[in-house]
């Protein structure tokens, strides 16, 4: 019994196992239930429009395959999350996956148990397939947010449209500065612990009031960093691609790349900066960055 619990919960802290490896195939399987359940539901919608009394001939097989792939994708998703940080989107996504599988099971029982019957079984079967269609969409949306960040749509939308996308669709403000241990902060990049050290070690030498460089940009406080340089803003919350503070790290021309006169930053650090900006570039007001002490 205990081993079953460990299997389902996943070993959180013991490093990679077969279970976490199994989980890495979640992205490869997850589109099958989305397509199959949507197809089964779409087919039944077509039956309703044409006023057909019973299920379409292909519905039982589509629904069964949808259920099987949904079960597999959910198990893999559970495994995939077992060695990762959990935030509210992750919780919403994984439980939506479980509910989707439950609804797919109900739909499959209804459409396969009595494929030729009409009446309430057909209504109930169709209703659960329609709910299933909705659920794969919602679950997939939260899964997309996990991969691409909450500002994915708004960062690519023109200004008149981006207002329709709330920056924090789930669970209110996603960051609680000064409480790094809080469950909401746990899934996000921690400015003080992860971003500040990168900027201090690589940028403050030149971008601080102490710097004796011609540069005007200051990255020592939030206010100065947000103000930007003489060329304008360098940091756009939620929009790494539009932020030169990020894009100049990737610049291939060494003449323009930041940090100037140094090797490019390691990929992992660049990715930390990208995620930090994507997540809204939070910078608690009290934190002032300093250049590293002279050796
Ligand atoms: C050796 C000095 C030096 C280092 C180290 C350095 N920079 Fe710069 N940076 C400059 C100079 C000089 C400029 C051009 C003048 C200005 O705007 O400050 C500049 C410009 C920039 C700009 C563009 C300002 C604009 O809009 O024109 C950004 C963004 C920037 N730096 C970010 C960074 C980041 C992030 C780091 C650390 C990863 C970094 N820099 C490290 C010297 C440096």
pLDDT score of 62:
97
Q: Note the pLDDT tens digit of each residue in 37-69.
A: 999 999 999 999 999 988 999 999 999 999 999
| Buried-state track 188-218, b at ≥16 Cβ within 10 A, e below 16 | bbbbeebbbebbbebbbbbbbeebeeeeebb
Q: Note the pLDDT tens digit of each residue in 97-145.
A: 999 999 999 999 999 976 556 688 899 999 999 999 999 999 999 998 8
Burial tier of 108 (Cβ tally within 10 Å: 0-12, 13-18, 19+): buried
Domain boundaries, given as residue ranges, for the chain: 2-162, 188-278
pLDDT range class, residue 246, cuts 50, 70, 90:
very high
CA 227 to ligand 1 centroid distance, Å: 14
Q: Note the pLDDT tens digit of each residue in 167-182.
A: 543 333 333 333 333 3
pLDDT at 148 over 90: no
Distance from C-alpha of 237 to C-alpha of 276, rounded to nearest angstrom: 9
**Ligand 1 binding pocket, CB closer than 6 Å:** 202-203, 205-207, 213-217, 229, 231, 234, 244-245, 248-249, 258-262, 265
Question: Residue with the nearest Cα to atom 27 of ligand 1?
Answer: 231
């Amino acid at each position: 019994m205990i081993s079953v619990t460990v299997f389902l919960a996943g070993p959180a802290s013991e490093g990679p196992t077969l279970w976490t490896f199994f989980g890495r195939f979640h992205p490869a399987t997850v589109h099958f239930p989305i397509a199959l359940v949507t197809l089964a539901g779409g087919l039944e919608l077509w039956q309703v429009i044409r006023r057909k009394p019973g299920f379409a001939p292909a519905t039982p097989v589509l629904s069964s395959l949808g259920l099987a792939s949904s079960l597999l994708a959910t198990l893999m998703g559970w495994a995939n999350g077992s060695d990762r940080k959990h935030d509210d989107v992750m919780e919403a996504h994984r439980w939506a996956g479980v509910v989707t599988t439950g609804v797919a099971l109900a739909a499959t029982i209804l459409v396969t148990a009595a494929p030729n019957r009409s009446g309430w079984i057909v209504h109930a079967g169709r209703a659960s397939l329609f709910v299933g269609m909705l659920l794969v969409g919602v679950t997939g949306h939260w899964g997309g947010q996990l991969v691409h960040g909450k500002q994915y749509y708004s960062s690519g939308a023109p200004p008149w449209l981006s207002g329709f996308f709330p920056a924090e669709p789930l669970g209110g403000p996603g960051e609680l500065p000064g409480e790094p241990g809080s469950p909401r902060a746990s899934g996000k990049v921690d400015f003080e612990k992860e971003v500040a050290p990168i900027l201090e070690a690589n940028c403050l030498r030149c971008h601080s009031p102490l710097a004796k460089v011609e540069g005007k940009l200051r990255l020592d406080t939030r206010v100065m960093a947000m103000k930007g340089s003489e060329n304008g803003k360098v940091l756009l919350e939620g929009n790494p691609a539009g932020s030169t503070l990020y894009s100049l790290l990737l610049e291939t021309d060494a003449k323009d790349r930041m940090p100037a006169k140094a090797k490019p930053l390691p990929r992992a650090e660049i990715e930390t900066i990208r995620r930090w900006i994507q997540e809204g570039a939070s910078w608690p007001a009290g934190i002032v960055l300093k250049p590293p002490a002279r050796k």
